[in-house]
Structure 1
Amino acid sequence: MSTEALRFAAAAPTATDTACTHCGLAVPEGLVDAQSDRQFCCTGCHTAFTILHEHGLDSYYGFAERREAPVRASGRSYEEFDHPAFAQLYVTTTAEGLARTELYLEGVHCASCVWLVERIPLLQSGVVRAELDVRRSLAVVEWDASVVPLSTVARSLDLLGYPPHPFRGVARDDMRRREDRAMLVRIGMAGAIAINVMLAALALYAGEVNGMESRFTTFFRWVSFAITVPAFIWPGRVFFTGAWASLRTKSLHMDLPIAIALAAGLVRGSINTFTGEGPIYFDGLAILIFALLVGRFLQQRGQRMAADAAELLHAIAPSTARIVEQDIIREVPAEALLPGMVLDVRAGETFAADGLVQAGASSVNAALLTGESRPTSVVVGMPVFAGTLNIEAPLRILVEQAGETSRIAKLLRQVEDSAKRRAPIVQMANRLAGIFTAVVLVAALATFVIKTQLNAPAALDDAIALLIVTCPCALALATPLAITVAVGRAAGNGMLIKGGDALELLATPGTLVLDKTGTITEGRTALTSWVGPEWVKPLVLALEEGSSHPLADGFRRAWPGLDTPPVERSQHVVGGGLEGVINGQIIRVGSPRFVAQTLTETPDHLLAAITALDPTHTPVHIAIDGVLVALAGLGDQIREDALASLQQLRARGWRTVMLSGDATDVVASVGRVLQFDAQDAIGVASPEDKLAFIERCKKAGTVVMVGDGVNDAAAIAAASVGIGVHGGAEACLATADIYLTRPGLSALVELTEGARRTMRVIRRNIAFSIGYNLIGAGMAMVGLLTPLIAAVLMPTSSITVVLGSWYGHTFARRPRGAAAISENVA
């Protein structure tokens, strides 16, 4: 036993002062063993101490800083870690044939944790290596799978107080690390070569000024040649690989002029080295490769930053979840969730995975996923899905699918894949970049030939500078980067855009066709008018309280929180309404015909109100003891932002049309309120009629169809741009180009304005790229640029385009995450 452990044991003269031998925390009075000098606060610490002591790892207790909590082994078997599906997702194979995985560990906080975790190979045979990144609580474990299964390794970590969880995203992070490592090694090698070549060049330059024997000049020229060639063979090879791919696929690529420039410089320098006459260029070429690689690395990082903005899943699903194991609840990263786990989800929280309700009853807002604006009741055995919101009460959920395999992830993957679809302006920019590359090659050749005939000493330098400075990197990046950033920002604002072509079409006004129910209106029954005294409302609400009828739901939403009297008895009359007794009075609530059956008196002011009631709304009469006392009108209420949004769209040049399957008088009434032209408020339109109307409108120009994605699916698919709003989300993602997760029409205004701004950023990027290339080409042709200066300017232009796209004012930046999305759909 270590000195530190003995010190802890000796410091325990009384129960209240007794410290745990393993963790150093206070030992509960009932666990103090007066016959032993080793005291433990729990069985977990006792087990951990025994393991360390038996394996001679008592040095652990020499750390001044130790655990902040007792060891609480979960008792899990971790059998799922041995499942082939787990291995496919999280386990890789090293060059030595070992299995490798990355695990998130709970309870990591200090150097002692690092020391202990990295001693796992001593505790468990078959484990070869364990490394712990304490900042991220990330452990890298390598083991021989033929000797020990991963579940056994996981149990060992668990017994020591570090319950492991799979670290999701390993493949992408590994790929990025490999790419970055390879590029940084190339840059480092290119930089080292450039420095050594420069030293040789300095000797040559000094020799030209002060005089140097020819044998030393020849020596330094050959040294420069010998050092520079490896820069072409390894670090600079990426440019020649890209150029060869360009030639093989018969498509002009931006690496082609760079490779030609580098090859021309190397050939000319090599010839001059062998002949002993003329400039050798090696110092400039070495620095050029270094500068180009640094520029490409910065450019890739900028592209990655833009691509990360489009990771829609992280904007919707929560980042953590609480799992339940043997009645113990603890929080883990959402990446650690696996099938078979049990989640504790409280009211107001978003589900982190797909699963079945194991315990509890609540209601779920699934608007994001299904488009259903009304909460859905869930009980034991019913499914719930990641990204949806638990509204009323705590639930226990048995996980079935999590992370990339969840329903929302699969749906959003369609969006991410479709976002790669190239807009016409992207294709135009790519064609322009190819044409520009061809023009640059011809211009460089002409510059070299003409200046050679004129005996210009820097003919080759000027041609090389022209090839480098006019590399169309910035031109090729100008459009896709702007669209990628815009799509990512739009996703954070509740607008899931499948392709850049939709943004381009939305930037120019055309015909905007909107479905009525669920798009212009709320899509649910609401109280639109009330004529009667306030004291009647609690009576109506009491009678409707147990009814599942949509009209009853409208009353409940209109008067939440009202105190209701007890109902003595009640009955539901099919097709009529409700009759009940409250405080000895007979209350009838229902259709005019149903209430009129027992009516003995109708006040004059209510007769006038009946005449004035909007005919497009459902009338509900309320009578007490045969006397009509109140009237209510219920209907599908127009969204609050509908009129203002439509007016803004019209002011920007959009023709707005309402196309609905509802009755003509209902559509006409809504059309008058929202100031549609009479011919643009069309009712009684079947799905076939809607499709035919869209096809006719497309002949005149761009047509955008906005609907709920179910009965409007055919029209949405046929439109130039199809937009799904708050209804039938899965159908929308399958057929629509854009899906709006936010209720209301204000998102349409933001969408069209964001599209217009995105096109403005794209045009600005293209204009800058073309202007830069024209100016750079002109300066190179007249001899104002050296190859080195050109190498510095070329990546600068690309970085400028990256920053211009990232900071371009396209869609407003809003807080990302599940909370923001849930707020939008609530």
Structure 2
Amino acid sequence: MSTDTLRLAGTIRTAHPAVGEATLCAHCSLPVPSGLIQESAEHQFCCTGCHTAFAILHEHGLDSYYGFSQRREAPVQASGRSYEEFDHPTFAALYVQSLPGGLSRTELYLEGVHCASCVWLVERVPLLQTGVLRAELDVRRSLAVVEWDPNTITLSAIARSLDVLGYPPHPFRGVARADMRRREDRAMLVRIGISGAIAINMMLAALALYAGELNGMDAGFTHFFRWVSFALMVPAFVWPGRVFFTGAWASVRTKSLHMDLPIAIALAAGLVRGAINTITGTGPIYFDGLALLIFALLVGRFLQQRGQRLAADSAELLHAIAPSTARIVEQGTVREIPAEALLPGMTLDVRAGETFAADGVVVLGQSTVNAALLTGESRPASVQTGELVYAGTLNVEAPLQVRVEQAGETSRIAKLLYQVEESARRRAPIVQTANRLAGIFTAVVLVLAAATFGIKASFNAPHALDDAIALLIVTCPCALALATPLAITVAVSRAAGNGMLIKGGDALELLASPGTMVFDKTGTITEGRTALVRWVGPAWVQPMVLALEAGSSHPLAEGFRQAWPTLGTPDVIDAQHVVGGGLEGTINGHRVRVGSPRFVAASLTATSDVMTAALRAEDDIGRTLTPVHVSVDGELVAMAGMGDRVRDDARTALDTLRANGWRTVLLSGDAVDVVRTVGVSLGFADGQAIGGASPEQKLAFIEDAKRRGRVVMVGDGVNDAAAIAAANVGIGVQGGAEACLATADVYLTRSDLSALVELTDGSRRTLRVIRRNIALSIAYNVVGASMAMFGLLTPLAAAILMPASSITVVLGSWYGFSFPRKDRTPPRGSRTELAAPHVLEVAA
């Protein structure tokens, strides 16, 4: 080492008014604990990690690292991981890219990166490991790009080297895509801002020119303002307006007519003609209309792009549904790793109240699992050793150890979300039809403009070019393009005010006429939470039940607490929780048990005649509801039926939809008996209340029903997401999972099903407004084109008429009666909380 390096990296003692003399670590320069100071050693270290890193750098001649004025701000704490999962074929398929010559490349997120010294050190990894060809670090994103020869070194060995240096690596994905999107959005917003600023200044110059024409402005000032307008117009074309010329050129190269083509021709013709008139000092210049046109079109394009991304994002929702990290068990120790690094064969440690990060088999423990996210089953199911559990589902009661079978993109939930994405893509024919119509419109406009110019030029008409430009401007697709989206925008805005979030006009159009409406049960027809539906027993038992359930996180315990929120609870002695059974304890000298019938029956010594008769009569408990029995001192004294309550307005809303021509079907993953009972109570016909349907079966049912007509799917969970995406219109209800929200065409923020009635009625009214707007736009284009072709319309008049037509469409949409504004304040006496259960109290 050099003298300077030794001064920086050696044993340094410094005086400090607060801590006195301190020994600093030779690697990270942090104080060394007194217990780690070795008096005879040349260098001192705050931890073994720093000692190891220092030795590696010194051994490979990388002492220049200590010449940086700023180095690590924390000790090196190597995790000690083997990183064997980085060598697994599944990991390679997800994160490793093959390069020419048999080389490999990957991107890794590194912990602990903060300064230039980190960059220097990471990029010296090729000097530490034979076979590593390149290592580059983006310090801002902590992103390391590594290239290596897999025949010489494994990725796990490279990862261990980075870990020893104090930069634990993790798989890196998704961030690059997000950064790209942010850059695109930022660039578009900058274009919109610049075009808007130019348009405003252009209007000020145009206002001066228009006022000058009326009041006889001096020719010098007129000439000045015309050149100012031209100077403002050029940057508007060069930057914000360039996107239209790019699209037009792509249309020409691919030989497919696109709406950008007539826009680009009109803009170019207007600019050329305006420039000529500016130079010659004669004729109109059109620059104000062109600037406003660029600004309006850019705003519309930005909103369209943002909407089109929603369906494409469905596959990324796996990260929101499944946990981002997981605990794995290795050689008796538990450590946390990113969920992306999970591989088959690993053992997960999943505690009560946590979500499973992968599909797997239970190898230790027993518990109950809430799988409503995937299956729609409202009641938690018991699981034990040897049984399957799935990513995204909830471990309710007790810790489990699970051997990973499928993780990440191969898990069941990921496959469902992939089906969601595929179903969304199959809607492309609608877009293709719109593109064909746009192509026809574009072709007609171009032919008419060319014919107008050619015919008039052959007769040496003085205004042949002006008439062609007027035709291109007056038939600009603004009015026709606004006819539908503006009516939809107003309708969507007003619907949002009424608690209905609508993503697109195709949903409104499809909902305007009746078809088949398919409903999920759990969380859609019902409230989606466990509640006390039936109670059989005396009231004096209820405080005892609450006392035992007070500390439990089980959904059944929450159901009891919601049903009896004002009851006091006595003290419990020797409370015990039996996994898969229930709770027991001593209350006021009595031994009380609350739980499953089998658990309670194990301690029974007697059952009163009243309870025996009640057990025979209450056949719903145990068949369509989850039974909970209560015993006191070995005698069965009460029982409860826990279930998912039907929404209060469900029957009224369903009857109204049926009266309006909709065919209704109940399709649920819940138990067949439960679904059949709910279906009968809500008036579903025979064969239209289907239970036990898996997510895959729901998707198949929707696909089959679509062959016979229009289908609307209403649901709330990931188990419904694929069916929602496959339906002609998907509707997500309040409380649904994020995947359902992202894939649904409509999302209801209200819990009442009457919103569906308002949605279908409002869609029908919106369609009438759209048809009226289209008729007005077509009439305007026909009249305007005719006037331009016959020389009755100058480019200036066309520029004035173009926004006038748009204003007509705006007014027609704004004052069209689609979704009326409503006061969303709940009426007095409405039930917004859990309704009181049906209670049958039996004398003790």
TM over 0.5: yes
- C-alpha change, 1:300 and 1:322, in structure 2 (3 Å) is farther
Shift of 1:368: 0.9
- C-alpha change, 1:623 and 1:660, in structure 2 (3 Å) is same
- SS of 1:433 mapped into structure 2: helix
Give the corresponding residue for 1:130.
136
Q: Which one of 234, 248, 252 corresponds to residue 239 of structure 1?
A: 248
- SS of 1:109 mapped into structure 2: coil
Query: Match for 1:155: what amino acid?
Result: R
Q: Which one of 85, 105, 127 corresponds to residue 110 of structure 2?
A: 105
CA distance in 1, matches of 2:466, 2:584: 90
Shift of 1:369: 0.6
Query: Match for 2:317: what amino acid?
Result: H
CA distance in 1, matches of 2:69, 2:26: 13
Give the corresponding residue for 2:794.
783
Q: Percent identity?
A: 47
Q: Which one of 449, 455, 461 corresponds to residue 462 of structure 2?
A: 455
- SS of 1:377 mapped into structure 2: strand
Query: Could you tell me whether the CA contact under 8 Å between 1:265 and 1:464 is conserved in 2?
Result: no
Is 1:370 the equivalent of 2:381? no
- C-alpha change, 1:463 and 1:727, in structure 2 (3 Å) is closer
Query: Could you tell me whether the CA contact under 8 Å between 1:81 and 1:150 is conserved in 2?
Result: yes
Query: Match for 2:118: what amino acid?
Result: C
Give the corresponding residue for 1:10.
13
Shift of 1:483: 13
- C-alpha change, 1:262 and 1:471, in structure 2 (3 Å) is farther
CA distance in 2, matches of 1:366, 1:483: 37
- SS of 1:36 mapped into structure 2: coil
Query: Match for 1:257: what amino acid?
Result: P
Q: Which residues of 2 match residues 232-311 of structure 1 at below 5 A?
A: 238-245=247-254, 247=255, 252-258=257-263, 302-310=303-311, 311=313
- SS of 1:168 mapped into structure 2: coil
Query: Match for 1:783: what amino acid?
Result: T
Query: Match for 1:389: what amino acid?
Result: L
- C-alpha change, 1:516 and 1:146, in structure 2 (3 Å) is closer
Give the corresponding residue for 2:144.
139
Query: Could you tell me whether the CA contact under 8 Å between 2:162 and 2:169 is conserved in 1?
Result: yes
- C-alpha change, 1:34 and 1:534, in structure 2 (3 Å) is same
Q: Which one of 319, 324, 329 corresponds to residue 320 of structure 1?
A: 324
- SS of 1:239 mapped into structure 2: helix
Deviation per residue, 1:534-576 (Å, 9 max, x gap): 356799999xxxxxxxx999999989978564489x9999xxx
Is 1:709 the equivalent of 2:709? no
Q: Which residues of 2 match residues 234-633 of structure 1 at below 5 A?
A: 238-245=247-254, 247=255, 252-258=257-263, 302-310=303-311, 311-312=313-314, 313-314=316-317, 316-318=320-322, 320-324=324-328, 334-335=339-340, 337-339=342-344, 343-357=348-362, 359-422=364-427, 429-430=434-435, 432-449=437-454, 452=457, 453=459, 454-456=461-463, 458-459=466-467, 461-462=469-470, 465=473, 504-508=509-513, 528-530=533-535, 532-535=537-540, 565-566=590-591, 581=604, 587=608, 591-592=612-613
CA distance in 1, matches of 2:626, 2:50: 71
- SS of 1:10 mapped into structure 2: strand
Query: Could you tell me whether the CA contact under 8 Å between 1:131 and 1:139 is conserved in 2?
Result: yes
Query: Match for 1:10: what amino acid?
Result: R
Deviation per residue, 1:652-674 (Å, 9 max, x gap): 76468888999xx99999799x7
Query: Could you tell me whether the CA contact under 8 Å between 2:350 and 2:401 is conserved in 1?
Result: yes
Query: Could you tell me whether the CA contact under 8 Å between 2:24 and 2:31 is conserved in 1?
Result: yes
Give the corresponding residue for 2:711.
721
CA distance in 2, matches of 1:236, 1:756: 42
Is 1:27 the equivalent of 2:32? yes
CA distance in 2, matches of 1:488, 1:87: 45
CA distance in 2, matches of 1:321, 1:809: 46
- C-alpha change, 1:235 and 1:478, in structure 2 (3 Å) is closer
- C-alpha change, 1:530 and 1:320, in structure 2 (3 Å) is closer
- SS of 2:24 mapped into structure 1: coil
CA distance in 2, matches of 1:347, 1:486: 43
- SS of 1:354 mapped into structure 2: strand
Shift of 1:61: 3.4
Give the corresponding residue for 1:69.
74
CA distance in 2, matches of 1:623, 1:170: 53
CA distance in 2, matches of 1:790, 1:3: 81
CA distance in 2, matches of 1:308, 1:106: 31
Query: Match for 1:240: what amino acid?
Result: W
Structure 1 residues without counterparts, runs of 5 or longer? 188-208, 210-227, 543-550, 596-609, 691-704, 798-807, 811-826
CA distance in 2, matches of 1:621, 1:102: 53
Is 1:78 the equivalent of 2:83? yes
Query: Could you tell me whether the CA contact under 8 Å between 2:538 and 2:638 is conserved in 1?
Result: no
- C-alpha change, 1:586 and 1:809, in structure 2 (3 Å) is closer
Shift of 1:38: 1.4
Normalization by structure 1: what TM-score?
0.61
- C-alpha change, 1:322 and 1:142, in structure 2 (3 Å) is same
- SS of 2:377 mapped into structure 1: coil
- C-alpha change, 1:434 and 1:658, in structure 2 (3 Å) is closer
Query: Could you tell me whether the CA contact under 8 Å between 1:579 and 1:587 is conserved in 2?
Result: no
Query: Match for 1:639: what amino acid?
Result: R
Give the corresponding residue for 1:645.
650
CA distance in 2, matches of 1:739, 1:300: 26
CA distance in 1, matches of 2:96, 2:390: 27
Shift of 1:37: 3.1
Shift of 1:150: 3.3
Deviation per residue, 1:786-825 (Å, 9 max, x gap): 999999999999xxxxxxxxxx999xxxxxxxxxxxxxxx
Q: Which one of 50, 55, 61 corresponds to residue 55 of structure 2?
A: 50
CA distance in 1, matches of 2:452, 2:521: 64
- SS of 2:72 mapped into structure 1: coil
Query: Could you tell me whether the CA contact under 8 Å between 2:322 and 2:357 is conserved in 1?
Result: yes
Query: Could you tell me whether the CA contact under 8 Å between 2:537 and 2:637 is conserved in 1?
Result: yes
- C-alpha change, 1:56 and 1:104, in structure 2 (3 Å) is same
- C-alpha change, 1:765 and 1:84, in structure 2 (3 Å) is farther
Query: Could you tell me whether the CA contact under 8 Å between 2:325 and 2:357 is conserved in 1?
Result: yes
Query: Match for 1:314: what amino acid?
Result: L
CA distance in 1, matches of 2:15, 2:329: 33
Query: Could you tell me whether the CA contact under 8 Å between 1:98 and 1:144 is conserved in 2?
Result: yes
Shift of 1:764: 7.4
CA distance in 2, matches of 1:487, 1:450: 50
- C-alpha change, 1:588 and 1:475, in structure 2 (3 Å) is same
- C-alpha change, 1:329 and 1:146, in structure 2 (3 Å) is same
- SS of 1:364 mapped into structure 2: strand
CA distance in 2, matches of 1:750, 1:150: 55
CA distance in 2, matches of 1:149, 1:624: 62
CA distance in 2, matches of 1:131, 1:794: 55
- SS of 1:5 mapped into structure 2: helix
CA distance in 2, matches of 1:486, 1:396: 50
